């Protein structure tokens, strides 16, 4: 069981519970319920699969602390791939 599987459990138990909120100072205050986060991760995973991502593949992420990072991580987990976070401070 991984974090994506636990999200599925949360979405079944309390689909309308808000699990993720965007920083209101960074832009519009977005929020995601368990059901919405699960559906968004599933859609992104389907898109990544269509591009050829398969279990065991590695995906580099160059993102800051944003909701998209979490969404991407969940999608990669859904596919059984591996996320490789890259530090934003590393510029070379």
pTM of this structure: 0.86
Report the greatest alpha carbon distance in the chain: 45
The answer to whether the beta carbons of residues 68 and 61 sit under 8 Å apart is no
> HEC string of 13-55?
HCCCCEEEECCHHHCCCCEEEHHHHHHHHHHHHHHHHHCCCCC
Q: Choose among 1, 75, 81: nearest CA to 44.
A: 75
Q: Give residue 88's pLDDT.
A: 83
In this predicted model, what pLDDT tens digit does every residue of 39-51 receive, in sequence order?
999 999 999 999 9
């Amino acid at each position: 069981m991984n974090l994506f599987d636990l999200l599925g459990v949360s979405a079944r138990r309390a689909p309308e519970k808000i699990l993720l909120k965007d920083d209101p100072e960074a832009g519009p205050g977005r929020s995601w319920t368990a059901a919405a986060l699960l559906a968004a991760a599933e859609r992104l995973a389907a898109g990544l699969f269509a591009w050829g991502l398969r279990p065991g593949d590695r995906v580099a992420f160059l993102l800051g602390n944003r909701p998209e990072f979490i969404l991407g991580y969940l999608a990669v987990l859904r596919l059984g791939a591996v996320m490789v976070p890259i530090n934003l401070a590393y510029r070379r």
